[in-house]
């Protein structure tokens, strides 16, 4: 009985070792991920908060605001 358990443990260890070797040999080399491209930043003229231009609210005067409330407060 103990030989059967020993054989099972050795067989499972062999499968794990073999699978690890096959996985490493078959995958292409990893390339590092590229960081996201920088985004233009704008400043809210009401509170001075800096935020990405894509997240800002554009006023009628062409300036960018951090929120609709600040755009209305500035009268734009």
DSSP letter for each residue of 5-73: HHHHHHHHHHHHHHHHHHHHHHSPPP-PPPPPPP--EEE-TTT--EEEGGGSEEPTTS-EESSHHHHHH
Mean pLDDT in the chain? 87
pLDDT(10) > 90: yes
pLDDT band at residue 70 using 50, 70 and 90 as cut-offs: very high
Specify the pLDDT at position 17. 83
Average pLDDT over residues 54-66: 94
pLDDT band at residue 21 using 50, 70 and 90 as cut-offs: low
Average pLDDT over residues 42-68: 94
The closest alpha carbon to 52, from 64, 66, 39, belongs to 39
């Amino acid at each position: 009985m103990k030989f059967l358990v020993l054989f099972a443990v050795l067989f499972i260890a062999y499968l794990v070792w073999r699978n690890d070797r096959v996985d490493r040999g078959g995958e292409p080399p990893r390339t590092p991920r590229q960081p996201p491209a920088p985004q233009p930043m704008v400043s809210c003229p009401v509170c001075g908060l800096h935020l990405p231009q894509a997240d800002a609210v554009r006023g009628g005067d062409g300036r960018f605001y951090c929120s609709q409330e600040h755009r209305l407060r500035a009268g734009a």
